[in-house]
Amino acid sequence: MIRFVHTADLHLDQTFNKIAAKDSNLAQNLSLATAESFQRLVDTAINEQVDFMIIAGDAYDGERASLKAQFFFEREMERLATANIPVYLSYGNHDYVKDPSHRLQLPDNVNVFASDGTTFIYESTNGDQVAISGFSYDKRWIEDSQMGHFPDRQGEVDFHIGVYHGDMSRKSAGKQYAPFNLAELRQHGYDYWALGHIHQRQQLSANPPTYYPGNIQGANFKELGPKGALLVSLQVGQKAELEFIESSDWQFIETVKELQPITSLEALRDQIERGLHEQIMYAKEEGLNLIGRLRFQSNGDEETLYWWHNYANELLEQLQWSLNNQNASRQEKVYLADLKLDVSSQAQWSASRAFNDALKAAYDRYHDEEVFQAAITDLTKNCQWQQQMATRLDSQDFQTDVLDRVRELIVLEQASQNQEQRRG
């Protein structure tokens, strides 16, 4: 039997800029969160006396990895070396190696897959032989499947493992990440596929076992809940056993609540504070630090939208201030990042039916990708946008987020104006 840790997408020098910019204390805590999560994984590997560790891409957040991240990673690799635990490392689309002279040399226990593929042979203390095949990125995007770099299962070994950083044949605005499909994986006859790139933990196949472990520290509200790695046990003739190792001490969490009819500022405050209290209690019960979002759903009641539009942002600021004071004496830190409102698609945009229909027709035009891209041409041609944002955004997700926000603002503005007129 062999046991190993399968991790991926460490992103050791990720910055959390969007979240951390709102609060200096939060920025300080998050700057340590990813490294601390990886330290816990190394602790687990050592304590469990695993045979080896697999890191399936994106140890660093960028091609030009920071020295702070490199020195930290080197130290952790040395800890594993001291415990006689080898590491099998692939570089992904974030930390691809363009110029090796900008990278520190790693300890001898770290085995790095080449861009044209490598197969390493590991022999355990009980005599089991394991072939571990994989590849590394040498550029940001790889348009074609890299399955050609993987040999068929070697008959003389007890286990054969594939390490693959990529996506399931999905194209995103011309950017591709070594697309593959399950049929290709199965043809090789491997005993386990250790995947990387997707930040949500998921199983793609039970036979052969094919898993994304997810990233080790959530970075935003698309990466909710516990984060960590997989502890994998393989035994000849037996079903693979997997255990999730939770290593992140900071979680992003979103609570969804129905927004009940509101007729006063106090009623709005009460609903928001009750949602926040649930998150505080969850943090206490689980012994976690939380970055929270409260998402409310409204049927479009005009008076309710009026109160939300006028006071939600100010209430958020006051609650954030209050939480910061409480965090100074609280072991489990809780930060309320933002409040979100989802308004029913059936909500009326305007009291005037003609204006309502015209407004919706104008809005619907921008669901056409060409129309939307034409409207933001000046933005997308900006050099700072191209350098800082273009490579990090999925164009379809960005379009959806913008249109959702525009729709929310239209409905809120119209409801607020109508209520102001009624109130004189």
C-alpha span between 193 and 210 (Å, rounded): 5
Closest by CA position to 279, among listed 259, 298, 254: 254
pLDDT at 360: 79
Residues 210 and 315 in one domain: no
Domain end, chosen from 185, 218, 246, is at 246
Assign 3-state DSSP to the chain and report helix, strand, coil percentages, each to 5.
40, 25, 40
Query: What is the chain's Cα-based Rg?
Result: 25
User: Could you give the number of structural domains in the chain?
Assistant: 2
Residues 233 and 333 in one domain: no
Residues 371 and 344 in one domain: yes
As to burial, measured by CB atoms within 10 angstroms (0-12 exposed, 13-18 middle, 19+ buried), residue 59 is: buried
Closest by CA position to 150, among listed 207, 110, 193: 193
DSSP codes, 388-418: HTTTT--HHHHHHHHHHHHHHHHHHHHHHHH
pLDDT at 136: 95
Q: Is the pTM of this model over 0.85?
A: yes
Domain end, chosen from 205, 223, 246, is at 246
Residues 196, 57: contact at Cβ < 8 Å? yes
C-alpha span between 26 and 320 (Å, rounded): 11
Residues 155 and 194 in one domain: yes
Instruction: Return the C-alpha torsion angle 134, 138, 139, 143, nearest 10.
Output: -40
Domain end, chosen from 230, 246, 262, is at 246
pLDDT at 393: 67
pLDDT at 18: 72
Residues 262 and 366 in one domain: yes
C-alpha span between 230 and 270 (Å, rounded): 41
Residues 36 and 13 in one domain: yes
Residues 226 and 320 in one domain: no
Residues 402 and 349 in one domain: yes
Q: CATH code at 135? A: 3.60.21.10
pLDDT at 271: 96
- Provide the pairing of β-strand 110-112 with 118-123: unpaired
Alpha-helical runs (H) found in 287-394? 302-327, 353-365, 369-375, 377-380, 383-388
Residues 167 and 257 in one domain: no
C-alpha span between 232 and 2 (Å, rounded): 8
Running along the chain, 424 residues long, what does each successive block of 10 average in pLDDT?
Answer: 97 81 77 94 98 96 91 97 98 91 93 96 94 95 91 92 88 71 93 96 96 95 95 95 96 95 96 96 94 93 91 95 90 93 77 76 84 84 74 73 82 80 72
β-sheet bridge partners, residue 112: 89
Residues 234 and 114 in one domain: yes
User: If residue 133 lies in a helix (H) or strand (E), which one and from where to where?
Assistant: strand 129-134
Beta-carbon contacts of residue 216 (< 8 Å; ≥ 6 apart):
7, 9, 10, 11, 34, 37, 38, 41, 227, 228, 229, 247, 248
Residues 11 and 114 in one domain: yes
Count of Cβ atoms closer than 10 Å to residue 256 Cβ: 12
DSSP codes, 61-121: SSSS--HHHHHHHHHHHHHHHHTT--EEEE--SSS--S-GGGSPPPPTTEEEPPTT-EEEE
Cis peptide leading into 261, omega within 30 of 0? no
**Which residue range forms the structural domain that includes residue 173?**
2-246
Residues 278 and 394 in one domain: yes
pLDDT at 314: 96
